[in-house]
């Protein structure tokens, strides 16, 4: 079946007879395996680059996220005149292991579903990763709290050796290499082997040079550790001096506190005595004032008694004279009149 016979409004029934040069638009944006499908190989998207043509592999059946066979009809399909050529009319080449990184492509969407890998032995070349993704890689070491340890250049290992510098090839590369070895003669293999030995020697020089750089980096890190230890030593000395000064200050405070407590006790005793004497003085004043008031009252009473007594004495003398018959002027007393 050709591209013209493929109805864009119907699901893809046979991947070998369908156009996979475009990215279909589906609900959910994910990719799942069909129940009976074999694990898929990645389809390389060329992005218009003639060196990287789209090439579907065997059993490239992409399951719909909702479980139906094939994809839903695309809503962003261009007119037939603008569509890409079918795979049969495009230059075919074997699948490359150097796959271009493109967000949103079929290969990137099919990389995982719910965090589980779909393709076995498929890993993008690390050289295509951005600088930001390399910087955000988690550290190989963690501290006691489980946080990543941030360090210098070689905290996550060397750049030319180690797992991070090793490329993992997919199965197609091994098959291509085996096929090419079978087609080469012994002389050609020897020539290629010699070239590989020279490349290995050059790489060995790079690795040795990096070893020296890493050794220098380790020496710098140890030197920084020594400088930090000097700072620690100075800080400990300052802490010791501060501790001695603090001890002296605490001792002086205790002495001052004792003197303050003694003075406060003496002050409180003197204050209590003063208050007691003030109370005694007030009581004495009140008593004296009361005695004076009593004297005034008694003096008033005495003055009244004296006046009454004087009047009574005079009246008694007059009465006694009258009783004796001795009037003063020779006349009879008028006291009894």
In tens, the pLDDT along 99-133 reads 444 444 444 444 444 444 444 443 444 444 444 44
The one-character DSSP state at 63 is B
Q: How many domains does the chain have?
A: 1
Percentage of residues in the chain having pLDDT higher than 70: 55
Confidence bin at 2 (pLDDT 50/70/90):
very low
| Residue 43 counted as domain residue | yes
| CA triple 128-129-131, angle to 5 deg | 125
| Residue 79 counted as domain residue | yes
Q: Give the residue, 115 or 19, on which the prediction is more confident.
A: 19
**pLDDT for 190-225, tens place per residue?**
999 999 999 999 999 999 999 999 899 999 999 999
Give the count of alpha carbons within 13 A of 245, CB side only.
6
Least confident of 13-22, 46-55, 145-154: 46-55
| Residue 151 counted as domain residue | no
| Residue 292 counted as domain residue | no
| Residue 104 counted as domain residue | yes
| Residue 321 counted as domain residue | no
Residues whose CB is less than 8 angstroms from the CB of residue 152 and which lie 6 or more positions away in sequence, other chains included? 217, 220, 221
> Helices marked H in the chain — which ranges?
106-109, 131-135, 171-183, 186-324
Q: Give the residue, 177 or 134, on which the prediction is more confident.
A: 177
**pLDDT for 307-334, tens place per residue?**
999 999 999 999 999 888 876 665 555 5
Contact yes or no for 14/79 (Cβ under 8 A)? no
| Residue 25 counted as domain residue | yes
Confidence bin at 272 (pLDDT 50/70/90):
very high
Q: How many helices and strands, by DSSP H and E, does the chain display?
A: 4, 2
pTM: 0.39
Tokens of 290: 């009361």
CA dihedral over 293, 296, 298, 304, signed as positive or negative: negative
Distance, in Å, from the CA atom of 202 to the CA atom of 210, rounded to the nearest integer, reads 12
| Residue 11 counted as domain residue | yes
pLDDT surpassing 60 at residue 91: no
For the chain, give the mean pLDDT.
73
- Cα of 236 vs its chain's centroid, Å: 30
**Residue 21 structural domain:** 1-141
């Amino acid at each position: 079946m050709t591209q013209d016979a493929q109805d864009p409004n119907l699901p893809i029934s046979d991947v070998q007879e369908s156009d996979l040069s475009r990215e279909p638009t589906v609900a959910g944006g994910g990719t799942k395996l069909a129940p009976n499908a074999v694990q898929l190989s990645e389809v390389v998207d060329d992005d218009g680059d003639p060196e990287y043509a789209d090439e579907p592999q065997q059993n490239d059946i992409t399951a719909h996220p909702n479980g139906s066979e094939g994809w839903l009809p695309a809503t962003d399909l261009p007119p037939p005149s603008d569509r890409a050529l079918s795979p049969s009319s495009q230059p075919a080449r074997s699948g490359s292991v150097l796959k271009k990184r493109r967000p949103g492509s079929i290969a990137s969407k099919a990389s995982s579903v719910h965090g589980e890998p779909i393709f076995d032995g498929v890993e993008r070349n690390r050289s295509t990763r951005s600088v930001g993704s390399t910087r955000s890689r988690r550290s190989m070491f963690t501290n006691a709290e489980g946080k990543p340890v941030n360090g210098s250049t070689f905290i996550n290992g060397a750049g030319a050796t180690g797992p991070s510098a090793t490329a993992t090839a997919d199965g197609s590369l091994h098959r291509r290499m085996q096929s090419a070895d079978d087609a080469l003669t012994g002389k050609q293999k020897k020539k290629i082997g010699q070239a590989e030995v020279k490349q290995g020697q050059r790489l060995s020089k790079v690795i040795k040079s990096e070893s020296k750089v890493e050794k220098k980096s380790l020496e710098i890190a140890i030197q920084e550790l020594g400088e930090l230890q000097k700072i620690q030593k100075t800080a400990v000395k300052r802490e010791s001096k501060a501790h001695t000064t603090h001890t002296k200050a605490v001792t002086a405070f205790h002495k001052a506190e004792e003197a303050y407590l003694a003075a406060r006790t003496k002050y409180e005793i003197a204050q209590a005595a003063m208050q007691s004497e003030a109370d005694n003085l007030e009581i004495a004043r009140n008593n004296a004032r009361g005695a004076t008031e009593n004297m005034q009252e008694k003096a008033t009473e005495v003055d009244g008694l004296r006046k009454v007594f004087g009047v009574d004495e005079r009246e008694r003398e007059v009465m006694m004279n009258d009783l004796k018959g001795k009037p003063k002027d020779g006349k009879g007393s008028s006291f009894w009149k």
